[in-house]
């Protein structure tokens, strides 16, 4: 009985871990890697708000200069800068950029952006695989039988 429970737990945990990684790794590639690079190697400068878009996730468009060349990007308010409601076009804001490639930048302090980015990725990695496994167990009897079976399918069908 104890071995059977251990086997079910290992199958369930293995599937959950695979699902968690399949969700968390791609999600972390969206912003987390860039923010981490900016935290480690970024240079702080001052940028200027050029446009505010409240209907587009409160996007903040900004420009900043490096070695006489102007770069533009889209960021978000807060995280060391004023909140969206308090920003105006022409206002200065904190910008971090990479010296090797100033096109890579963020508005705000990378440490604070990372702290904001990690919890949703972790929650998605935990909750979505559990939800998917629950739905699969409920809707697909074949999956439920496999999860609760003691051996592999090939062992049980090879005797036929």
Per-residue pLDDT tens over the stretch 26-45: 999 999 999 999 999 999 99
Detail the DSSP E strand segments found in the chain.
Answer: 42-53, 59-66, 69-76, 92-98, 105-107
Q: Which domains does the chain have, with CATH numbers?
A: 40-109 (2.40.50.140)
Report pLDDT digits (tens) over 63-121.
999 999 999 999 999 999 999 999 999 999 999 999 999 999 999 999 999 999 999 99
Q: Quick one: CA torsion of 111, 76, 64, 66, rounded to 10 degrees?
A: 30
Question: pTM, whole model, 2 decimals?
Answer: 0.78
- Angle (CA) 81-83-89 rounded to 5° is 80
Q: Is the pLDDT of residue 159 over 90?
A: no
Q: Is the pLDDT of residue 58 over 70?
A: yes
């Amino acid at each position: 009985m104890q071995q059977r429970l251990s086997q079910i737990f290992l199958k369930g945990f293995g599937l959950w871990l695979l699902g968690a990684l399949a969700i968390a790794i791609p999600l972390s590639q969206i912003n987390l890697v860039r923010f981490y690079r900016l935290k480690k190697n970024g240079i702080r400068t001052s940028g200027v708000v050029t446009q505010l878009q409240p209907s587009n996730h409160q996007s903040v468009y900004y420009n900043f200069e490096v070695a006489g060349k102007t770069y533009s990007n889209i960021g978000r308010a807060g995280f060391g800068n004023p909140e969206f409601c308090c920003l105006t076009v022409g206002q200065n804001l904190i910008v971090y950029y990479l010296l090797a490639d100033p096109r890579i930048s963020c508005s705000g302090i990378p440490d604070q952006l990372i702290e904001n980015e990690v919890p949703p990725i972790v929650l998605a990695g935990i909750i979505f695989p559990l939800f998917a496994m629950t739905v699969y167990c409920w809707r697909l009897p074949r999956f439920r039988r496999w999860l609760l079976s003691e051996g592999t399918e090939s062992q049980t069908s090879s005797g036929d």
